Structure formats: structure tokens, C-alpha cells
A and B are shown apart, each in its own frame.
Chain A
Amino acid sequence: MNHRVSRPILRQSLSDLLYGGSDLSASSAPYLRDGVSIQRYMLMPLLAVLPATAGAIYLFGWRVLAVFLVAVTAGGVMQLAFSFIRRRPPTEGLLMLALLYTLLLPPNLPWSIIALGAAAAMLSRELFGGLGYNVFHPALVGKAFLLVLFPVFMSQFSQPFWGGSGGFVEWAPPADVTTTITPLVAALQNQPTPPLEQLFIGNAPGAMGATSGLLLLLAGGWLLLTRAIDWRISIVMLATIAIGQSLLEMFFPTVFRGGWLIHVLAGSTLFTAFFIATDPVTSPLTAWGKWIYAIAIGLLILILRALTPDPEGVTFSVLLMNFFVPLIDRWTLPKSYGGRA
């Protein structure tokens, strides 16, 4: 099942990149194959996340782009190393991984930390066998790695640029704003939060690409329409958070706070629902498995946010559920129409 390579890997990689297999033909029935290649399939979320990237530059300055380039370089070096060790051409996914990773980081991280996290992310993917074989979402592994090693750096947020040309004429927001807290933390500590419409358009501190609910909803809607992501994960996860938070606040008002809208709009929730949890490789294959996975992530996010110091909860919720994916798939095997399994 694995793709075999007969040519030297450099030539094969170049050919993959330039021609994308357009000269290959089917050697067994069906001789008619779908027009969508893995490149096109993986390009969809990448295109969808571009408006959010532009938004991130507007909010946090051109340093966002530099962070992305550092992440691509660090991840790329790691991938090339594995490619030579394995003697297999590098597979797709580097750009997407680096971009998602970038958008999940707070602004103003030191370069060395950014590079370290990106290398760790790619390492986690390649160690399991590369594209298609990784158990954990690589961008989250990179972020979790940094959250554990550099908790102080990772909880330093900045107020974004707003008004006029915003961050399009800036490099980065000032780094000394150590008192800035994210809306979610404010909500959990019963402090005043920014107005909801400001949160919706993205004028709030947070992970660089995950603050603007508007841009993320547009991207998510487009991905759902083109069938590039599965509604069973995105919609169910968001619904769980909205309904779950409302119910929990009703029964345990001292523990769960903030209101469901804040929980949906802040703390990278929308970003996770559309771009992270929907990653096909690390989510279940069966229809009912996707429901279980999405509901479990939603509930875990709420619990982690209320009961642990983790400000967002999304990273470890998704990583934890990644563990269970093979198990969930086995539990939810569909019954075939042949009367077996």
C-alpha cells in the first residue's frame, strides 16, 4: 500500500513537485479516477486558512510571516533529514503544518523557541512514519512541547493592532505587555471581557491566527461546503461546547463560568473545530466515531478550562483524544449490508 519509488529520491521529489503525478495512469480497475489529488486535497485547508493568516498579519504585524518562515525552515530541515534516512521522497503537509503551528502561537515568542517547536512538530510526524501514519496532530505536539517547556513565554499575550492599516505597517506588537490576559482567562477569573463583537472580529489578545471568529467561520463554512472537512467533527464539537457550557453553568455555576459564546469565540475554539480536530489522519474514520471524538473533545475542553491552569484547553483535549482514535474506530465498526462485522 505504501508508495514505492524506483527513481532516486531527489529526482522523484522534483517530479512529484513539478508534475504532481499527472503522467501516471491507473494500472487496475477502475480506470477512471477522481480528479482530486492529495496535493489538491491538502491545499484546500491551506487556502481556507489564508484569510485568517492575513488577519493575523493585520492584528499582529509582519512578524507573523517571519514566524511562519522560521517554522517552515525548521520543519523542512527535519523532514528532509528523515526523507534521506528513509530513502523516500518528502510528502506533502509541511506548509500546512507550519502555518497551523504559526497561527496557534502567541506573538513575540523568541526565534529559537519557535524553531524548536516546529522541529518537534515535524519530528512527531516523521517518527511515526510520516504523512498518514502519525497518531498525534503534529502542530499540536509542537505547541504542547512549548507549553510544557516554556509556560511563561507561552502565556505572554499582546493587545493586537487595530484601526487604519493596523499591523500591515507594523512588525510586531510591543513585547513588554506582560499583564495582557486573553478574554477567556478574564472570563474564567470573573474579570471584564472585551465586548463580544470585538471578539467576533478578532480585536482581542490570543493565539495569532485564532482570534477572529469572522474569518474562521468563513473559512470553515467553505471547507464544509467543499466536503474537504467533515461536519460531524466541526459542528458537533462546537455544538457540544455551546450546549455543554450552558448546562454546566446551570448546574455548577461556581466552577464553570464565562458564558458559552466566549467559550466558542475565544481560546482558539473555532480554529480547533475547523482546522485542527478535523485533520483526517488523527481523527476517526467511522461516522459514529467522529461523533464520539467531537463530543469528547468538546467536553474535555470545557473541563480543562474550568479545572486546570491551561488557558485554552484545546491542545491537550485534542492530543488526548488522538490516543483513543484507533480504539474509537474499533468500537464503532459499521455493520455491513452483507450481515457480518
Chain B
Amino acid sequence: MAIVGTLKTFKGGHYFGRFEGTPTGRIVAAPLPTQVRVPLRQGFGSETASLVAVGDRVKAGQIIARSDEMTSTPVHAPISGKVTAIDEGAHPLSQAITTYVTIESDGRDEWTYLKLPKGNFERWGADELGRILYEAGVTALGKAGFPTAYRSSDVDPGKMKYLLINAVETEPYLRGDLALLYEEFEGFVTGIKILKSALGNVDVHVGIGYDQPRLLEELENRMDYHDWLYIHPLLPKYPQGEDEVLVKTLLNLDVPSGKHATAIGAVVCDVQQVLAAYEAVLEGKALIERVISLGGSAVRRPVNVRVRIGTPIGDLLREFGHETPSRNLLGGPMRGIAVNDMNTPILRDTRALVVLREPTKKLFGGARPGLRHDSYTRIIPPLLGGPRVATTGLNGTPRPCVHCGYCVEVCPQNLLPIWIAEAAHQGDLRRAEQLDLFACVECGLCSYVCPSKISVMDEIQKGKRAIREERLES
């Protein structure tokens, strides 16, 4: 019998208010892009080698790059058409030099599907399911990939003990997973069974926001006869969906700092990964489209939109409209990366495209009540002012740390963020390590809450990079 736990949460974190420009309503489909530029490194794993040449015709779903001997997952053509260029450029997230394949659409949208064995998937066996997930590109999602018999991750799937499903969305503007849960619930339920079968003997823990009682009840009813399933209602507090935080909340286990959740035998998947597994195994569809939340204060029509991987963000912004000056973020407002290039492609692990207004100069901006800003403190009354308005503004002048302790209170990993940031900033990397900077999950709340507007997380990230470089040299 499925076991429904009590309401769980974690120490620290922040419950964001509702923001203006959050996507609502049904998922809409974006128009087919006329041209896509697909980087051969997407999600977890190293870059894959191209199998196509300039001038080749490809179909949607066809594998255009794979490297079975390296830790990686194949990359697919998201549209049907002709390969017009293969060149190198900076990766939109890591900025590392990456190979891109450019495909021009022929407008016909012809698909190719994966070959599936006959009969019920429950009798196919873990290896066969692993092959399908690998060839469909599903294994590239998640912080450490999904382990299969293929080299889709660094760990042995047989050693995994837990499968965690993250079905709680807590970052502002991100609503895609929630919309999918309501629209494709059957796929979600079957997808969980598929991923469980692919991993073998694991316990499955699903974390869902307690504010979605319909989903909780439905899930309980549909999965009633499975004794390997645990359903946990969670407080939708940011960053609950982070792998390490989810492991701590659901299993009460610590992920060793600097390691992935797989180090303690836990695989963490999100809703879209579960649904992608369902589509791959039951329909033979490769992961070439996903739902992203297109939202933010500068977006005219905030929507959850189904897009092909590789669609340039410029296409989406033209279609749904945005105001300028604004900042385009690939990902949510807390963890997203600012991109200026309108040709930047949507990747298969892109959760959102958030466009925020730039701040405007206001007289006495430092002391204004600001009833429509979100705040960790209750200095801004949380119930007044309706939906929150967000800009990229610091909302204050940078000042030295006044030790208010907010970053310590919100840190989900029980760190002293400002001390780590100070140590890293001063180049005292040993002290930063002593303070366990690699336990940081980079949720960004420390920078968010700081009244002195210190970019705490940025300093911690720089410290991490410096230590990694040091280790590479020695």
C-alpha cells in the first residue's frame, strides 16, 4: 500500500509570495521554429560526437550525436530538415566551447520513433528500459543524470536504493511542472512505474506540495496497491526541490558535501523526466520538446509553453511579447543565467525563460514602503499589496555586512554563507573549505535576503571554482 507521510519541510528556506507575470492556464504550444541551433552538450554528461554532416537530411527525433564510450547521453534533431552548419560556440550555461549543429526546418515536421519491444514494458527488464531511456535522451536530465547500464551517469544503477520524484515547484514564476501534473497525470503515474522498473529494487518517494490536495488524493488512489511508494506532502518552500534538500527532507539523510545524491544511493527525477520516460517507453518519442515557464515582470503573455529543444529564445519572446529594457534569464529568477543573445537555444534541461524588468530610478527609493516587493523579513507586510512585482534591481545600496544573520537563517544546508563568502573573497580557500563551501547547493537565497546587497552566492561560487582549479593543477 502506498504510504502517505505527514507534512514535511526543512530548516531555512523562504516561502515566496505570488509574483505578477506567473504563467497560468493551460499549456500552449509554441510555433515550430524555422531554424534550431542544437549544442551537443545538454544536461548531465560530456559533449557527444556528431553523427551528421552539413547537407544531411534529418527527421525529428533522430539521434544526431552520441558517444557511448563516454559519460553522456545522445542528442537528437528536434525538427525535420537539413543540417546547414556544424560549428563551435560558447555553451549558454557553462560558456565552455561546444559544438553546435544548426538545422533548417523543412516545415514538414516528420518524426522518427525509437524501436520498442513488444508487450508490456514491465516484462522488458531494466537493461532494455535503460537502453530506451538512454537513446531517448531522458537520462541527461537531473543533476547527476539517470543511471542505466549505458554510461549515462557515473554510478551503477544496481546500487541505487531510492528514487525521489520532485513534484514540488517553489521558485517564483515556475509553474510548468504543476501544469503538466494536472494535464498529464496518467503519464506521470505510468512514468513513475517505468523509472522504478528501470532501476530495479528501489523505494520510490514522491514529494508533492501539500497545497495540491487533488493531486495528492489522486496519486494515492491510483498507486494504492504499491508498497514501494511513499507519498510526502511538502510545504512549497524554496528550495525544496533541490536534490540535497529533497533527500534531507524525505529520507533524513545528508548528501556528503561536493557529491551528488547518487553517492548515498538516491536518484532524483523531476516531473518532466518522469513524463519524458513515459513518452519514450510507451510511444517511442525522444526528448525533443519540453514545457518551460515563460514568465516574469516584462513578459506580456506569461504562459507555460511546449517548445522544441533548440528553439531560439528570440522566437519565443517575439511570439509572446516582452517589454524592454529587460533581462532574459535562462532558468528561474534565482538560479537562471542572464543571456543577451537572442539566438540562445532552449536546452533539454531548461526549466524556464524568465524576463525581468530593469529597475527605474526612484526618489527616496531606499526608504519607500515598497508594498509590492517580496521580502524575507516581515518589514514589508506580507498580506498587503497583492501580487509581488519583481525587477532585477538590488533594491538598495551595497553596504558592508551588518551580521543581520538572515543568510544563516535561510540557508537550507545549515551553513554560515557570509563567512564562506568573506573567506572566499579574501582568498582564504582553506577556511572556506573548513566552513564546508562544497555543501552549498547554490539556491541563491543568501544573496536574495541580504539587506546589504552582498552577492554572497556569487562569492561562494567563485571560491568553488578557485578550489577546483587548484585541485586540477596539483
Contacts and interface: CB of A to CB of B under 8 A. Distances in A.
A40 interface: yes
Interface stretch (A130-138, A153-161, A175-183): A130-138
A25 B359 CA distance: 7
B138 interface: no
A24 B256 contact: no
Given A35-B374, A336-B436, A29 B444 contact: yes
B363 A19 contact: yes
B216 to A, nearest CB: 27
Given A21-B397, A35-B380, A132-B401, A338 B455 contact: no
Interface string A310-341: 00000000000000000000000111111111
A13 B400 CA distance: 15
Contacts of A228: 377, 379
B169 to A, nearest CB: 15
A33 interface: yes
Given A34-B374, A225-B378, A226-B378, A19 B256 contact: no
Nearest to B413: A337
A39 B362 CA distance: 14
Contact of A30 (B398, B438, B447): B447
B405 interface: yes
B392 interface: yes
A280 B403 contact: yes
B49 interface: no
B416 to A, nearest CB: 7
Given A22-B366, A30-B333, A132 B408 contact: no
Nearest to B354: A31
A131 to B, nearest CB: 6
Nearest to A334: B414
Nearest to A91: B399
Question: For chain A, what secondary structure do more than half of its interface residues adopt (helix, strand, loop), or is it mixed?
Answer: loop
B398 A21 contact: yes
Interface string B34-63: 000000000000000000000000000000
A92 interface: yes
Contacts of A43: 367
Given A30-B333, A35-B374, A36-B451, A20 B399 contact: no
A339 B379 contact: no
B369 to A, nearest CB: 9
B396 A36 contact: yes
A338 B399 contact: no
Contacts of B370: 35-36, 40
A19 B365 CA distance: 5
Contacts of A131: 399-400, 402
A33 B452 contact: no
B360 interface: yes
A337 B455 CA distance: 22
Interface stretch (A56-64, A79-87, A282-290): A282-290
Given A30-B444, A38-B397, A280-B402, A336 B414 contact: yes
Interface string B353-375: 00010111111111110100111
Contacts of B398: 3, 21, 24
Contacts of A307: none
Nearest to A283: B403
A31 B436 contact: no
B288 interface: no
Nearest to B374: A35
B425 interface: yes
Interface string B255-278: 111100000000000000000000
A28 interface: yes
Given A20-B366, A26-B392, A32 B401 contact: no
Interface size class of B (residues with CB under 8 A): 35 or more
A1 interface: yes
Interface range for A = 35 or more
Residue among B400, B401, B434, B449 with the highest chain A CB neighbour number at 10 A: B400
Contacts of A249: none
B451 A37 contact: yes
B474 to A, nearest CB: 20
B414 A337 contact: yes
A16 B394 CA distance: 13
A32 B337 CA distance: 12
B410 to A, nearest CB: 10
B285 interface: no
A127 interface: no
Interface string B321-358: 00000010100011111100000000000000000101
Contacts of B378: 225-227
A90 B13 CA distance: 33
Which of B364, B395, B409 has most A Cβ within 10 Å?
A: B395
Contact of A29 (B255, B334, B358, B373): B334
Contacts of B405: 230, 280, 285
Contact of B451 (A38, A226, A281): A38
A100 to B, nearest CB: 15
A20 B436 contact: no
A254 interface: no
B361 A29 contact: no
A308 interface: no
Nearest to A35: B373
A294 to B, nearest CB: 14
A121 B304 CA distance: 57
Give the interface centre of A19, A32, A38 by most chain B CB atoms within 10 Å: A32
13 contacts: A3-B397, A16-B366, A19-B363, A29-B447, A35-B395, A36-B395, A36-B396, A36-B451, A38-B453, A285-B405, A334-B408, A338-B256, A341-B436
User: 9 shortest A-B CB distances, which residue pairs?
Assistant: A20-B366, A35-B373, A22-B365, A37-B396, A338-B439, A338-B257, A132-B400, A21-B397, A30-B444
